């Protein structure tokens, strides 16, 4: 699917799936500083981007885009940069563990730069509750399932 970025400076093509994983010894409500097991994993497949902003026009080059998956200020996963390309075609599979139904992700398209800080090109929000539903089963651990009608129409 193709999604326009929030400031309409390009489009990113992604496929996202909810991938259930087998969890053992899941404990909810862990105290601060403890490891919290994931409830599942979201699989993000970055296919291509089109019409990205060229932030290197002054140097005579083109943007070197990559996608990073953020949870708050933490980078959870990222693709490899595609050098000098405003319409990169790639096939990057990213797997991001999700620890809570409130753990929304931000997918940022960024221009790689090895000398200065990377430059922001665009973003989209992935709201976990839009792709997953929690089913409460009496007497058992809750189950997290993909929403059958999920289509990501969020603007990037």
For 128, how many CA atoms within 13 A lie in the half-sphere containing its CB?
20
Residues 6+ apart with CB under 8 A from 107: 12, 14, 44, 67, 68, 69, 70, 123, 124, 125, 126, 156
User: Exposure string (b/e) for 78-109, b if CB count within 10 Å is 16 or more?
Assistant: bbebbeebbebebebebebbbeebebbbebbb
More confident residue, 51 or 34: 51
**111 touches 118 (CB < 8 A):** yes
Q: What is the pTM of this model?
A: 0.71
Q: What pLDDT digit, counting tens, does each position of 138-147 carry?
A: 887 788 888 8
- How many helices, marked H, and strands, marked E, lie in the chain? 1, 10
Predicted confidence band at 30 (pLDDT cuts at 50, 70, 90)? Answer: very low
For 90, how many CA atoms within 13 A lie in the half-sphere containing its CB?
24
Burial class of residue 58 (count of CB atoms within 10 Å of its CB; 0-12, 13-18, 19+):
exposed
Domains detected in the chain = 2-23+33-146 (2.60.40.150)
Predicted confidence band at 105 (pLDDT cuts at 50, 70, 90)? Answer: very high
The DSSP call for residue 80 is P
- Give pLDDT, residue 153: 39
- Give pLDDT, residue 80: 92
- Give pLDDT, residue 69: 94
Highest mean pLDDT among 19-23, 39-43, 109-113: 109-113
């Amino acid at each position: 699917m193709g999604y326009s970025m929030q400031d309409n400076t390009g489009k990113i093509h992604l496929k996202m799936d909810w991938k259930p994983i087998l969890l053992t010894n899941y404990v909810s409500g862990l105290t601060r500083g403890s490891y919290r097991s994931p409830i599942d994993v979201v699989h993000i497949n970055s296919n291509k981007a089109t019409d990205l902003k060229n932030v290197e026009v002054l140097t005579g080059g083109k943007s070197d885009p990559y996608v990073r998956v953020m949870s708050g200020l933490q980078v959870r996963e990222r693709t490899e940069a595609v050098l000098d390309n405003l319409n990169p075609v790639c096939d990057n599979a990213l797997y991001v563990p999700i620890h809570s139904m409130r753990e929304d992700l931000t997918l940022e398209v960024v221009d790689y730069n090895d000398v200065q800080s990377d430059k922001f090109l665009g973003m989209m929000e992935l709201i976990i509750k839009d792709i997953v539903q929690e089913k409460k089963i009496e007497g058992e651990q809750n189950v997290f399932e993909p929403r059958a009608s999920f289509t990501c129409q969020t603007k990037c």
